[in-house]
Structure 1
Amino acid sequence: MSATVAASPRTTDGAAVVRPPTPAGRHRTRRPRRRLGATLGTNGILVVGAAYMVLPLLWLVFATTKDASTLYGASVFTPGGSFVANLQRLLAEDGGIFLRWLGNSILYAGAGALVAAFISLLAGYAFDKLAFRGKSALYSTVLVGVLIPNTATVIPLYLLAASVGLTNTMWAVLIPAFCNPFSVYLARVFSSGYLPDAVLEAARVDGAGPVRSFLSVGLPMLVPGFVTIALFQFVAIWNNFMLPLIMLQDRSLFPTSVGIFLWQSQVQQNPEYSPLVIAGSFLSIVPLVVAFVLLQRFWRAGLAAGSVK
């Protein structure tokens, strides 16, 4: 029988090179340990983040089923039997004022989100596709506006609204919501990713002007970006607290955020308001959940396009 022996590597003088033996399993044990540690660390961070977001929501759901006497005395995640009673009292309190607050929030957030998304798309389209004098400087100003927190602009906005007599009106909350620098930035990203220049050039060859090109060609292609921006704006306006708190004095114009705060300020004097605050907070998140569930296929596509770009 003949056996084939692999030739050993040799040096230039013909001597065989002797290699030190490699400890068996050295590479096989380190890599799985590293992968296991990375997996455990990543999953641990995800679990902590999920718990941070989900546990308060679970507490809110269970707390809505309890009355004032068992709200803080019973176990945190033990359901009670006052869910229907709490909702009935909430809807009947002060002549059904909560329904008015909820309708105001839907009006502020819905109208503000739609108008702001359309204005942002117009601005993002102009910054991306059009050439005009001062374009770079103006866009830099928009980016600076992204860095300014909304709370820093509340007092200047109040002084401007007071100078024209718009305080204590719906327009004092709606008009500032129509413009958002971050939405303009997102719109420019979506315009660059979703709208090829060749499509607009073909529209111009066919005789379409800038406005017709945007409305007939650009806007239908930017629908995912429009929905994504509108959802972001909807959530931001819905959760807005400082602006309507400063602008509005009439209780009938309050959104849910300010109305629930009004009830919360009375809890120390009257603990019976605690179930109203909890039930109102529960109902106030329902429109947000419904909006995200119904429009998830649009905003998920929009987020994916923005991340790739």
Structure 2
Amino acid sequence: MTAAPTIRASARSARRPRSLTLTLVTLVALVYSLLPLVWLLISATKTQEGLFDSFGLWFAGDFALFTNIADTFAYQDGIFGRWLLNTLLYVIVGAGGATLLAALAGYGLAKFDFRGRKAVFALILGGIAVPPTALAVPTFLMFAKMGLTDTPWAIIIPSLVSPFGLYLMWTYSAEAVPDEILESARVDGAGEFRIFFKLALPLLAPGFVTVLLFNTVATWNNFFLPLIMLKDPDLFPLTLGLYAWNEQSTTVGGDVVYHLVITGSLLTIVPLIVAFLLLQRYWQSGLAAGSVKQ
């Protein structure tokens, strides 16, 4: 007799409205996050004159988005396309390599017991605590002596190191890959690399995608390292190239191309948005599972 009232009480509790304060805070955070994107999208539809003659959060008289896109790719002999290819190269080789190395190292640390394991763990935590900007100048001095500055390797090699990605893959591997499967494969005579790529890596897919997204965003938005490493505009990533256009617009006698800077910024974030939307389910599940402590 008491079960039905209990169920009804639980149902009423489940239908109870959320906290108004929490809803308002979430709404403010949503507006704060989306407002710059809305401004960027609207501004990219305006001409150079329309940027200054119209309200920032509303469209101007002329819709110039497609013209701006064409002009962005054509300006300075199409160097924007070169910057886009450079960024893709840095992401594919740097972020992709960093994710693979993090998966290999994290799996090894989680599934193999060896002397110095705790020291490695402390070193990884220390690497996470050090901001990348603090290492930029020492890295530049080291690369300058090696003759690697103003080359793609000056961006790719530092991007291959991801302490946070390694730690995330370590914690995820400890939970996602059962030791029984590994022991069975070893009994059947499988080698360690074959076990990793054939058995462990498919189980690590959600965590792998999560780390890949983090590394992709970090490499795609990398600015300070290319700023001190690169001088040749043909090697610039998108971030540094758009910064150079913006600085050119503020220089006396320079070509003012604010509309191209804004349109280029919009084009820069589109691939990241598409990647997050396509890989969202892997990212969410991998992030939740990776948060479980060892």
CA apart distance, 1:266? 1.8
Partner of 2:287: 303
Structure 1's unaligned 5+ residue stretches are 1-31
More helix by share: 2
For the residue of structure 1 that corresponds to 2:143, the secondary structure is: helix
Please provide the CA RMSD for this pair: 1.7
- Inter-partner Cα distance in structure 1 for 2:175 and 2:54: 53
Structure 2's unaligned 5+ residue stretches are 1-12
Choose from 97, 100, 105 the match for 1:115.
97
- Inter-partner Cα distance in structure 2 for 1:39 and 1:90: 46
What aligned pairs does 1:138-153 form with structure 2 within 5 A after superposition? 138-153=120-135
Partner of 2:4: none
CA apart distance, 1:113? 1.6
For the residue of structure 2 that corresponds to 1:133, the secondary structure is: coil
CA apart distance, 1:110? 2.0
Choose from 267, 273, 283 the match for 2:249.
267
Letter in 2 for 1:292: F
| Pairing 1:136–2:118 present | yes
Partner of 1:58: 38
What aligned pairs does 1:12-91 form with structure 2 within 5 A after superposition? 39-80=19-60, 81-91=63-73
CA apart distance, 1:207? 2.0
Partner of 2:240: 258
Partner of 2:221: 239
Partner of 2:10: none
Letter in 2 for 1:95: D
- Quick one: percent identity of the two aligned structures? 45
- Inter-partner Cα distance in structure 2 for 1:239 and 1:155: 18
Contact 1:68/1:271, CA 8 A, preserved across alignment: no
- Inter-partner Cα distance in structure 2 for 1:304 and 1:242: 30
Contact 1:112/1:177, CA 8 A, preserved across alignment: yes
- Inter-partner Cα distance in structure 1 for 2:78 and 2:245: 14
Letter in 2 for 1:45: V
Contact 2:169/2:290, CA 8 A, preserved across alignment: no
- Inter-partner Cα distance in structure 1 for 2:75 and 2:196: 48
Using the size of structure 1 for normalisation, the TM-score is 0.85
What aligned pairs does 1:178-257 form with structure 2 within 5 A after superposition? 178-257=160-239
> Compared with structure 1, are the counterparts of its residues 271 and 78 closer, same or farther at alpha carbon in structure 2 (3 Å cutoff)?
farther
**What CA deviation, in whole Å up to 9, does each residue of 1:31-89 have, x standing for no partner?**
x9xx87x7111111111111111000000000001112221331122223221221121
- Inter-partner Cα distance in structure 1 for 2:194 and 2:168: 22
For the residue of structure 2 that corresponds to 1:71, the secondary structure is: helix
CA apart distance, 1:308? 4.8
**What CA deviation, in whole Å up to 9, does each residue of 1:99-125 have, x standing for no partner?**
100111111112212111110011101
Contact 1:87/1:279, CA 8 A, preserved across alignment: yes
- Inter-partner Cα distance in structure 1 for 2:96 and 2:188: 30
CA apart distance, 1:281? 0.3
- Inter-partner Cα distance in structure 2 for 1:193 and 1:132: 19
- Inter-partner Cα distance in structure 2 for 1:54 and 1:72: 22
Contact 2:248/2:256, CA 8 A, preserved across alignment: no
Using the size of structure 2 for normalisation, the TM-score is 0.89
Contact 2:172/2:292, CA 8 A, preserved across alignment: no
For the residue of structure 1 that corresponds to 2:50, the secondary structure is: coil
CA apart distance, 1:153? 0.6
Choose from 73, 81, 85 the match for 1:99.
81
CA apart distance, 1:214? 1.6
CA apart distance, 1:260? 0.4
Contact 2:127/2:163, CA 8 A, preserved across alignment: yes
What aligned pairs does 1:155-166 form with structure 2 within 5 A after superposition? 155-166=137-148
For the residue of structure 2 that corresponds to 1:91, the secondary structure is: helix
